[in-house]
Amino acid sequence: MDVVTFGESMVLFGPDSSGPLRYVQNFNKSIAGAESNVSIALAKLGHKVGWFSKLGDDEFGRYIQSTIRGEGVDVSRVIFEPGKNTGILFKERFMHSNPNVYYYRKGSAASDLKAEELDESYIKDAKILHITGITPALSESCRKTLFKAIEVAKANKVLVSFDPNIRLKLWTKEEAIPVMLEIAKLSDIIFPGIDEGEMLLGFTKPNDIADSFIKMGCSVVAVKLGEEGCYIADKDRGLYVNAYKLENPQDTVGAGDGFAAGFLSGMLKKLDLKECGEYANGVGAMAVLVKGDMEGYPNYEQLMAFIGEKKTISR
């Protein structure tokens, strides 16, 4: 397995029109979850990926499992929990702004994930364990599970990839910061945004954020800069990688997960930092061209065409 990841995935209801949800009549059903987004994006790029979680033993849980499996991700370690619900969320869209998100996930099956339920051999056999800061925010048992997974990865020389993905709708800043920093110190690769760098470290300049995480022990830092691209650093150097210009973005949710997947894909292919950044920017940009969290992720040939590495014949 190239990458193993775990965390909560939910059923997403996206409105078919803009405006307050009280006036919306129709919704489209899809799935949402940072870790499953990364797994799907990597699978589309041709990597062997596994995702696991707990799902409610209900139709929404079965829908999530079949959707992720249908995208080429191994879901053999998913646990179905009788008596627990699968989480759901609703998006609320307004023109020219990021969507609002409303969660209905408290007490969900995924929030009951326990450390003793980990299949340690599944993590040991991977090249990279990808985690996010959403999982430890769900519950104390999820937090313990995440740290156990990191412990297994480190003991078996599996790289730990970490996207802070701070969600202040799930916990407070005071709760989040010490946990995020503890995870960062144990991570090999980290994907902070500027807001996360400011919250966790007090810095707003990409090079300061990267240098700080490098000093903590991270080997590679990829700072997400949105429309400006990214800043990538290791212990030897740092560089900016320009973003790809977009004419008509549709939905920004899922772009950061696509960015992480693109970067990890480049690392798995042993590309240099600049090329990893180009992959990351490319997948992240393509994600926002389509409504939905993961529907816009490209396959390898589409990504190569988008970043200018390959010509395509459309007719």
Positions annotated as catalytic residues are: 257
Provide the 8-state DSSP code for 289.
T
Task: Give the 3-state secondary structure of residue 44.
Answer: helix
Residue type for position 6: F
- Phi, psi angle pair for 107, to nearest 5°: 75, 15
Q: Is 8:131 a contact under the CB 8 Å cutoff? A: no
Integer Cα distance of 284 and 261 in angstroms: 9
Integer Cα distance of 150 and 160 in angstroms: 7
Residue type for position 270: K
- Give the start-end residues of each E strand in the chain: 3-6, 10-15, 27-32, 49-52, 54-56, 79-81, 88-92, 100-104, 128-132, 159-163, 189-190, 220-224, 230-233, 238-241
Q: Which residues contact 63 (CB under 8 A, 6 or more apart)?
A: 11, 29, 31
Residue type for position 204: T
